[in-house]
């Protein structure tokens, strides 16, 4: 009786050693990737996000492999399911589950996720806003200036083959290859002419004339051009003092990244499609890049991405974070960035989305203030979902708010990779 009286005054909403995963459900909205929810036997739940553009199946197929597990054993569960992820969108299920595990573990122990990753190096996270391609450089410059007026201290824009389409004498390409998005860069035969390179340089010069040279400006989406033309363009753009050139060639071609890095004086960046630390290592060891750019929804989640950043630091390489998701993925990235010494800046694709900030509660509104996100000290990721806003903006193919997933409850497989 005395024990019962004592327990009646104790918060038993979470007893970490007895915590078990009981369910996984998913909801999709009109922005970002599928939102993943892990329920437990103690009423607390964890939130994660599958990579934008990825199928929720990548997560749901793992449901039976984590049911009954204690979510506080984050690394143990990650190692059990790691084999079911792969590069680009195919790692989304593993990464989303890892985020939700970290959210749950933080809630269970009453600490923020960054504390589970070793503590924080900074109290606020610098953000940059991705700005999609515009044909008119003056219009692009004005939008970037608006970003600066809102407090952003780092910028990115797209520039490449797309800006030259329809302009005679700027591109040489085999018929049909400009539209062949599944052909990797070395195999397209697409070449830039001197006129094409001059037009792209003029574009950047107009933008720099509007925003100035004091603010970092990075560049992405060059198109599927070969390494030789990447080098020509990189050299021509050097005078504009760009923060980095991103994803000029596929990440798999380490030797081409070494050629590119050694041929110009602008930092080279890649990594948003790389799954786990192992495949970053060739780029690190060869010094093929100056900036590693993992996406936490591809690279393995919070802890794996922290390891990637630590490895990059050993080779004198900075880490920026790609992020094109909902506030769930954004906050998982924030906790990782806070815990990583060589972190530089975090991407956001949704600064012009009027309801993005409304998707969650527990944070200031807007979430990004004066170009930064403050690192929350509340347990887990520090957020909860705004059900009303999520329901209002469900994906067109979504049937309900976290519909049951019982059809995934009974799959069994012998997954061990050794005898």
Which of 2-20 are b and which e, b meaning 16 or more Cβ less than 10 Å from the residue's Cβ? eeeeeeeeeeeebebeebe
Strand partners, 192: 171
Find out whether 257 and 268 touch, Cβ atoms under 8 Å: yes
At 132 the pLDDT is 82
Domains belonging to the chain, first-starting first, are 19-112+388-408 (3.30.390.10), 116-380 (3.20.20.120)
Report pLDDT digits (tens) over 340-356. 999 999 999 999 999 99
- Name every residue whose Cβ is closer than 8 Å to that of residue 188 and which is 6 or more positions away in sequence: 173, 174, 177, 180, 224, 225, 226
At 68 the pLDDT is 97
In angstroms, the CA 313 to CA 284 distance is 9
| Residues comprising the chain, all counted | 419
At 414 the pLDDT is 86
Predicted TM-score (pTM) of the model is 0.95
Report pLDDT digits (tens) over 180-222. 888 999 999 999 999 999 999 999 999 999 999 999 999 999 9
Torsion of CA 358, 363, 368, 373, to 10 degrees: -150
- Name every residue whose Cβ is closer than 8 Å to that of residue 254 and which is 6 or more positions away in sequence: 282, 283, 286, 288
**How confident is residue 5, by pLDDT bands cut at 50, 70 and 90?**
low
Burial class of residue 228 (count of CB atoms within 10 Å of its CB; 0-12, 13-18, 19+): middle
**How confident is residue 411, by pLDDT bands cut at 50, 70 and 90?**
confident
Residue 395 has pLDDT above 80, yes or no: yes
Report pLDDT digits (tens) over 84-138. 999 999 999 999 999 999 999 999 999 999 999 999 999 999 999 888 889 999 9
Report pLDDT digits (tens) over 230-247. 999 999 999 999 999 999
Report pLDDT digits (tens) over 50-97. 999 999 999 999 999 999 999 999 999 999 999 999 999 999 999 999
Biggest CA-to-CA distance, the chain: 88
**How confident is residue 369, by pLDDT bands cut at 50, 70 and 90?**
very high
The beta-carbon contacts of 383-389 under 8 Å, at least 24 apart in sequence, are: 383/47, 383/327, 383/328, 383/331, 384/47, 384/360, 385/35, 385/47, 385/359, 385/360, 385/361, 386/358, 386/359, 386/360, 386/361, 389/355, 389/358, 389/359
Residue 367 has pLDDT above 70, yes or no: yes
Residue 415 has pLDDT above 70, yes or no: yes
Find out whether 361 and 386 touch, Cβ atoms under 8 Å: yes
At 2 the pLDDT is 59
In angstroms, the CA 227 to CA 209 distance is 29
- Name every residue whose Cβ is closer than 8 Å to that of residue 12 and which is 6 or more positions away in sequence: none
In angstroms, the CA 157 to CA 131 distance is 5
| DSSP secondary structure code for residue 16 in this structure | G
Q: Which DSSP string corresponds to 198-241?
A: HHHHHHHHHHHHHH-SSS-EEEE---S--HHHHHHHHHHHGGG-
* Peptide bond before residue 366 is cis, with ω within 30 degrees of 0: yes
At 7 the pLDDT is 52
The strand pair at 372-374 and 124-131 is best described as antiparallel
For the chain, the average pLDDT equals 95
At 4 the pLDDT is 59
In angstroms, the CA 35 to CA 219 distance is 29
Report pLDDT digits (tens) over 260-297. 999 999 999 999 999 999 999 999 999 999 999 999 99
Helix (H, G, I), strand (E, B) or coil at 1: coil
**How confident is residue 12, by pLDDT bands cut at 50, 70 and 90?**
low
């Amino acid at each position: 009786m005395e024990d019962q009286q004592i327990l009646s005054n104790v918060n038993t909403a979470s007893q970490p050693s007895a915590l078990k995963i009981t369910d996984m459900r998913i909801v999709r909205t009109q922005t970002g990737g599928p939102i993943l929810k892990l329920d437990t036997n103690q009423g607390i739940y964890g939130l994660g996000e599958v990579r934008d553009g990825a199928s929720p199946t990548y997560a749901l197929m793992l449901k039976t492999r984590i049911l009954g597990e204690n979510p506080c054993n984050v690394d143990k569960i990650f190692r059990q399911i790691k084999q079911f992820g792969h590069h680009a969108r195919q790692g989304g299920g593993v990464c989303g589950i890892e985020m939700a595990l970290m959210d749950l573990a933080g809630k269970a122990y009453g600490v923020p996720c960054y504390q589970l990753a070793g503590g924080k190096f900074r109290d606020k996270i610098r953000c940059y806003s991705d700005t999609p391609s515009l044909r008119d450089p003056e219009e692009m410059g004005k939008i970037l200036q608006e970003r600066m007026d809102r407090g952003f201290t780092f910028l990115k824009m797209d520039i490449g083959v797309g800006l030259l389409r329809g302009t005679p004498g700027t591109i040489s390409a085999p018929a049909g290859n400009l539209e062949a998005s599944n052909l990797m860069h070395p195999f397209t035969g697409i070449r830039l002419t001197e006129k094409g390179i001059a037009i792209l340089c003029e574009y950047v010069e107009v933008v720099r004339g509007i925003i100035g040279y004091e603010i970092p400006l990075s560049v992405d989406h060059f198109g599927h051009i070969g390494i030789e033309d990447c080098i020509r363009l990189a050299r021509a753009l050097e005078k504009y003092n760009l923060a980095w050139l991103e994803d000029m060639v596929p990440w798999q071609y380490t030797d081409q990244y070494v050629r590119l890095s050694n041929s110009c004086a602008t930092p080279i960046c890649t990594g948003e499609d790389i799954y786990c630390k192992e495949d970053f290592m060739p780029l690190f060891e060869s010094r093929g890049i100056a900036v590693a750019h993992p996406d936490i929804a591809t690279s393995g989640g919070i802890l794996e991405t922290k390891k990637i950043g630590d490895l990059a630091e050993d080779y004198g390489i900075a880490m920026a974070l790609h992020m094109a998701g909902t506030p769930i993925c954004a906050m998982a990235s924030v906790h990782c960035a806070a815990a990583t010494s060589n972190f530089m800046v975090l991407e956001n694709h949704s600064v012009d989305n009027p309801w993005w900030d409304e998707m969650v509660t527990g944070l200031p509104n807007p979430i990004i203030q004066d170009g930064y996100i403050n690192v929350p000290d509340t347990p887990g990721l520090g957020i909860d979902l705004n059900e009303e806003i999520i329901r209002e903006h469900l994906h067109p193919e979504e049937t309900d708010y976290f519909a049951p997933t019982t059809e995934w409850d009974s799959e069994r497989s012998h997954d061990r990779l050794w005898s």
